[in-house]
């Protein structure tokens, strides 16, 4: 479980996060949503330890990040997996080498053990035949799946995803969403996803935190987001006519 208490983050005079508190539960897909510029990416980078908040605390299963020593922070980070918006695969390595990288860095496994684990996770993300390809030879969807495989190969406790669906077609986006949700439940990890994609919100948003202007404007789930009267949320989530109709139909069906 990841617990966030009153975190503030500024860049110069610009206050990006203005006191956010929330909890991300284990075994659930937690979505952070909001408009561009609402502070989602900065929030995610604070959760990852890439940015240091000026105030507030972030604790991972009871360990307060800011109170840890540099070595303990590194150890904690080794328990995190991250899927970056642009996948962030290492260009100089093949897909198999990319996935094997965390194992080579943090485990004492033999080469054959590492290869077996890489085979397993690549099969898990439906990329059984892509071992020898370079990231530049893979499509956007494949790169995202490789990034997921790399993030989970070392059995992380926390999985972070920054816009995992950006640049993907709707069908591939659903595949990626389902994969993340399955992996979260299968390995009982705490998953935090930064997303713009309303499909993801409806499909896998077991917990949703809505940010606006650096503040938490609302939190709930994909069930409660249909019923909420919070105008800030409804203006954002149901901004298109199609989504308004979907919501209306859902509410009528429930009645």
Partner 1 sequence: MSYLHNIGAYFLMIKEMFRKPTKWSVMRGLIFKDIDDLVIGSLGIVAFISFFVGGVVTIQTALNISNPLIPKYLVGFATRQSVILEFAPTFISIIMAGKVGSFITSSIGTMRVTEQIDALEVMGINAINYLVFPKFIAMMLYPFVISIAMFLGIIGGMAACVYGGFSTLDDYITGVQMDFIPFHMTYAFIKTFVFAFLLATIPSFYGYYMKGGALEVGKASTTAFVWTSVMIILLNYVLTQMLLS
Binding site for partner 1 (CB under 8 A): 48-50, 70-71, 73-78, 80, 82, 84-86, 88-92, 101-102, 104-106, 160
Q: Least distance from C-beta 252 to partner 1, angstroms?
A: 44
Cα–Cα dist 60/5, whole Å: 12
Report phi then psi at 197, rounded to 5. -85, 115
CB of 90 to partner 1, least distance (A): 6
Nearest CA to 64 out of 54, 8, 72 is that of: 72
Nearer to partner 1, 160 or 236 (CB): 160
Q: With respect to partner 1, which residue has the nearer C-beta, 90 or 120? A: 90
Q: How many CB atoms neighbour CB 15 within 10 A? A: 15
Least spacing, CB of residue 210 vs partner 1, in Å: 25
For the four alpha carbons of 97, 99, 100 and 104, in that order, the dihedral sign comes to positive
**Alpha-carbon gap, residue 101 to 97, rounded angstroms:** 6
DSSP of 152-218: HTT--SEEEEESTTTT--HHHHHHHHHHHHHHHHHHT-EEEEE---HHHHHHH-SEEEEEETTEEEE
Our CB check for partner 1 shows the closer of 14 and 70 to be: 70
- In the complex with partner 1, which residue's Cβ is closer, 83 or 125? 83
> Closest approach of Cβ 251 to partner 1, in Å?
40
Minimum distance from CB of 13 to partner 1 (Å)?
Answer: 18
CB nearer partner 1, residue 53 or residue 205: 53
Exposed/middle/buried for 2, CB within 10 Å: 0-12, 13-18, 19+?
buried
């Amino acid at each position: 479980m990841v617990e966030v208490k009153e975190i503030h983050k500024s860049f110069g005079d610009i206050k990006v996060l203005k006191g956010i508190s929330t909890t991300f539960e284990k075994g659930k897909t937690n979505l952070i949503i909001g408009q561009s510029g609402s502070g989602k990416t900065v929030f995610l980078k604070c959760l990852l330890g890439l940015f240091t908040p000026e105030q507030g605390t972030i604790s991972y299963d009871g360990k307060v990040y800011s109170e840890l020593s540099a070595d303990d922070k590194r150890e904690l980070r080794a328990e995190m997996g991250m899927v970056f918006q642009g996948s962030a695969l290492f260009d100089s390595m093949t897909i198999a080498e990319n996935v094997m990288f965390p194992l080579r860095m943090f485990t004492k496994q033999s080469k054959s053990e590492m290869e077996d684990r890489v085979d397993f996770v690549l099969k898990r993300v439906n990329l059984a035949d892509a071992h020898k390809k370079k990231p530049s030879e893979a499509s956007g969807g494949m790169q995202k799946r490789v990034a997921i495989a790399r993030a989970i190969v070392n059995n992380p406790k926390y999985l972070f995803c920054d816009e995992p669906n950006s640049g993907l077609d709707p069908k591939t986006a659903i595949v990626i969403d389902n994969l993340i949700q399955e992996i979260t439940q299968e390995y009982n990890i705490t998953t935090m996803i930064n997303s713009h994609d309303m499909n993801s919100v409806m499909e896998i948003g077991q917990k949703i935190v809505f940010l606006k202007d650096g503040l938490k404007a609302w939190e709930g789930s994909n069930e409660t987001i249909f019923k909420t009267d919070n105008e800030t949320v409804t203006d954002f989530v149901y901004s298109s006519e199609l989504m308004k109709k979907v919501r209306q139909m859902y509410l009528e069906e429930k009645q």
